[in-house]
A and B are shown apart, each in its own frame.
Chain A
Amino acid sequence: MFKQVVGALVALGMIGFGSAADRAAAAEKTLKIGAAVSLSGALSREGRLLVEGYELWQKKVNEAGGIKIGDDTYKIEIVSYDDESKAQTSAQLTEKLITSDDVSFIFGPYSSGIATATAVISERYKVLTLAPMATANSLYGRGYKYIFTQTPLADRGLYPVLELASEMDPKPQSVAVVGPDDLFPNIVGDSAAKKAEEMGFKLVYTAKYPKASTDLASVATQIKSAAPDVVLATGYVQDTLLLLKSMRELKVDPAIVGLAMSIGIQDFRDALGPSANGIMGTDMWVSTLTYSDPVFTDSATFAKEFEAEYGNAPTYHAASGASAGVILQMALEKAGSTDVDKVREALLSMEGETFYGRFKFEDDGTNSLGTAAVSQLIESDPKVIFPPAVAQEKALYPRSEM
């Protein structure tokens, strides 16, 4: 009898204790978000920047008192693990985040390769993933419902240069696409060539040179004889420099030279020297973009706050991470619930803008408004010239002689 009474009292006590805890939680709730990103291994640098972006958003949100979701206000807690740049580890950690840390939302890993492995897991558990740095087309063609990226996919790398070209007066007629024979350049180059033809440009020359080419004078010679108005190059820093040098020596002078890489890289600009004027490059993000959102205001403010926090200037990796946080926040606020499917529906029904760019998500998880920015070296300074909404300067067209 005594035991039963004690047992009942203990049980009552536990109930009472439990409900007290519930009340405490109601006062201040916490929303856990998982992130298994590379902090060591080959991708550690990019992974670190991405996580810093996620964490800066967390800090901003918590300092502002949290996110209001429905009637409750939630603080954010990012549970992050190091996937050691290994896809399999990242997948295991994703499972751990879902099953033992009980997260319903995940910030994706760095690189499409790793995200391809983690998406299988998050899809199985119906956990919503925002993967700002996973942009391989293959990942979004699988019918997955719970993975989203706001960054334009890999194959769209040179689209903005073509769109810009088609708005120029007089409109350039012909296009050449050249680049090293390598996975990423091929994806960018092939789809740019296809897009150029769809847009009514005449595709006059394409070349895929071996990655380890010591010399590109022959390619430049052929570009010269094809005489395109627009030259699109999909290469990396070193081969692109070589190509541009050879083009200059052979006096190949198209009206537009567009690169699938950033022209903001300092050593690239230095190595190009005074002849670089007018060359265009593409950037997923630069700190001079003037898109805005309520959390970070704009890119310049984000860059300033990032530098104050981490001591170095942010890259597009960090910017994409922070803006993924902002997008999730907007979706949570709109859904008024932390229910994954409601948040997903909110995401799909929204059209908006963060400091990183505009977004409107499609069913496959991609962002139909996502576009890289085009910058042009104008008096050796990179200036954003496209899209028009955020342009700092009018495009220099046709570019002055090399």
Chain B
Amino acid sequence: MLAQTIVNGLLLGGVYGIATIGFSVVWGVMGIINLAHGAYIMVGAYIAFALNQWFGLDPFLAMPFAMVALFVIGYALQAFLLNPVMHTSLLLTLVVTFGIDLFLIDLFVLFFSSDVRAVHTAYSGSSLEIGPVLISWVRLVAAILSVLVAIASYLFLNRTRTGQAILATALDREAARLMGIYPDRAYGLTAGLAAAVAGAAGCLASTIFPISPTLGISFLGAVFVVTVLGGIGSVAGVIIAGFAYALVQAFAATYLGANYQQIVAFSMFLLILIVRPQGLFGKPFYGES
């Protein structure tokens, strides 16, 4: 049972990580706590579901489509709704993103109803058996893809000119502007990329979890904890924190009882806030713009 518990945690941790990257980067770069992030994940899941239902496309192969669609949505919402308000007050950005969240959820209730859906593939439910441990194929593939997308995001931010421009804008908006970076475009790109990764997370989630328009809400709690745990804006931190969070939950649920998984996870969250407020890997100056 110990081995199975570790495997359960590890398989889920990747998904928590990829679900959190966009949220964390947007917070770190722009200082926006994007309450619509869960809805982006939900939209990604529905894209995977719809493509599977209509064209028989494998949900993992739906990822590029979902990422492109969500990049457009994320970029557009940033350009038209968030850029104008993001330097006014934190409260206003919270209100706007909450509004986007409600809008997206209701839009999907309208088109897909609030019925619960699931994506079925030939391999869903089948597992790899290693001794007493069972590793679900979909969860394994989802975990691996999560880590790959995370590495890609990390490389993009740290090794490309565009990524450097985004980080530079995060550190000092005015100096970045003097260096020839358009902050609004950097913000749009950040929001678009964040949404795209959330879309990818949605596709992965669609293979594991039942889908409904409120799918994102159950994720947002975990996303928030993992962000703070990993350090706001840190991609590497988020991935490690995702695994840590999932492992702690798995152990708490297995050895203390199912009703303890959130108590323990949130206690850990509080402890981090007290002992190391910048998170495990965060740099204190991020997110202060």
A and B from one assembly?
yes
Q: Which residues of A contact B (CB under 8 A)?
A: 178, 181, 207-210, 212-219, 221-222, 224-225, 237-238, 241-242, 245, 248-251, 266-268, 270-275, 402
B43-89 residues at the A interface, CB under 8 angstroms: none
State which of A221, A250, A268 has its C-beta within 8 Å of the C-beta of B254: A221
| A106 CB to nearest B CB, Å | 33
Interface majority SS on A: helix, strand, loop or mixed? helix
Pick the most buried of A207, A212, A271, A402: most chain B CB atoms within 10 A of its CB: A271
Q: Which 10 A-B pairs have the closest CB atoms?
A: A267-B115, A218-B253, A249-B136, A209-B258, A271-B118, A207-B258, A241-B210, A217-B8, A273-B120, A248-B125
State which of B118, B212, B250 has its C-beta within 8 Å of the C-beta of A217: B250
Cα–Cα, bound, A288→B259 (Å): 38
**A218 with B218: CB separation less than 8 A:** no
Given A221-B254, A250-B127, verify A210-B261 contact (CB < 8 Å).
yes
| A400 CB to nearest B CB, Å | 14
**A268 with B253: CB separation less than 8 A:** no
| B115 CB to nearest A CB, Å | 4
State which of A209, A238, A245 has its C-beta within 8 Å of the C-beta of B125: A245
Cα–Cα, bound, A222→B115 (Å): 29
Residues of B within 8 A of A210 (CB): 258-259, 261-262
24 A-B pairs with C-beta separation under 8 A: A208-B259, A209-B258, A209-B259, A209-B261, A210-B259, A213-B218, A215-B209, A215-B249, A217-B8, A217-B11, A218-B249, A218-B250, A221-B5, A221-B254, A241-B118, A245-B209, A248-B125, A249-B138, A267-B116, A270-B118, A271-B118, A271-B210, A273-B124, A402-B125
Given A208-B259, A209-B261, A221-B5, verify A270-B117 contact (CB < 8 Å).
yes
B134 within 8 A of A: yes
Cα–Cα, bound, A215→B12 (Å): 8
| B49 CB to nearest A CB, Å | 10
Cα–Cα, bound, A216→B210 (Å): 12
**B116 with A212: CB separation less than 8 A:** no
Chain B minimum-CB-distance residue to A207: B258
State which of A212, A251, A268 has its C-beta within 8 Å of the C-beta of B218: A212
Cα–Cα, bound, A273→B136 (Å): 17
Residues of A within 8 A of B210 (CB): 237-238, 241-242, 245, 271
Cα–Cα, bound, A131→B40 (Å): 44
**B139 with A249: CB separation less than 8 A:** yes
Residues of A within 8 A of B253 (CB): 209, 218-219, 222
**A249 with B115: CB separation less than 8 A:** no
**A250 with B134: CB separation less than 8 A:** yes
Chain B minimum-CB-distance residue to A219: B258
| B51 CB to nearest A CB, Å | 17
Cα–Cα, bound, A207→B120 (Å): 28
Cα–Cα, bound, A275→B118 (Å): 12
| A290 CB to nearest B CB, Å | 30
Residues of A within 8 A of B131 (CB): none
Pick the most buried of A245, A249, A270: most chain B CB atoms within 10 A of its CB: A249
Residues of A within 8 A of B118 (CB): 241, 245, 270-273
Residues of B within 8 A of A242 (CB): 209-210
B257 within 8 A of A: yes
Residues of A within 8 A of B275 (CB): none
B110 within 8 A of A: no
Contact with A along B108-149 (1 / 0, CB 8 A): 000001011110100011010000001010110000000000
Residues of A within 8 A of B182 (CB): none
B224 within 8 A of A: no
| A84 CB to nearest B CB, Å | 23
Contact with A along B249-269 (1 / 0, CB 8 A): 110011001110110000000
Chain A minimum-CB-distance residue to B121: A273
Residues of A within 8 A of B5 (CB): 218, 221
B1-23 residues at the A interface, CB under 8 angstroms: 1, 4-5, 8, 11-12
**B117 with A218: CB separation less than 8 A:** no
